[in-house]
Amino acid sequence: MAFPCNQFGKQEPGTDAEILAFARSHGFPDPTHTAGFRMFAKTRVNGPETVPVWSFLKNSEVGKGHEIRWNYAKFLIGANGVPLKKYEAPFDLKKIARDVEDALQALSDVRAEYDSGF
């Protein structure tokens, strides 16, 4: 999911339509035609107008109540909706991929245990 925000170096000054057009022109998936990808309207991630999803993420155990420092912050969310990891820029995409694989494996292990009847 992508949440454009103009709070970081004024990098997203355009309208939602302009931001989407820019993203498409730079190879980002088209959220109207791509399963699993969603670009939301421009949001506020810090301050008194923070949208609820960012309040939830920042106040989670992995967010530790800290403000978002830069617009490339990433959160890995578990299948149960609980944030598992937070990544600040710069981040290692290989580490994120390993963490996603670990989370999927843990989910698979839980399902196998459930299916076996414990």
Question: Structure pTM?
Answer: 0.81
**pLDDT per position as a tens digit, 40-88:** 899 999 999 999 999 999 999 999 999 999 888 999 999 899 999 999 9
The H or E element spanning position 83 is strand 83-87
Residue ranges of E strands in 10-108: 74-77, 83-87
Judged by DSSP in three states, 104 sits in helix
Question: For the chain, which domains are there?
Answer: 16-115 (3.40.30.10)
> The tokens of 68 are what?
């978002």
Residue 113 to residue 109: CA distance in whole angstroms: 6
Residue type, 64: K
**pLDDT per position as a tens digit, 78-116:** 989 999 999 998 889 999 999 999 999 988 877 776 676
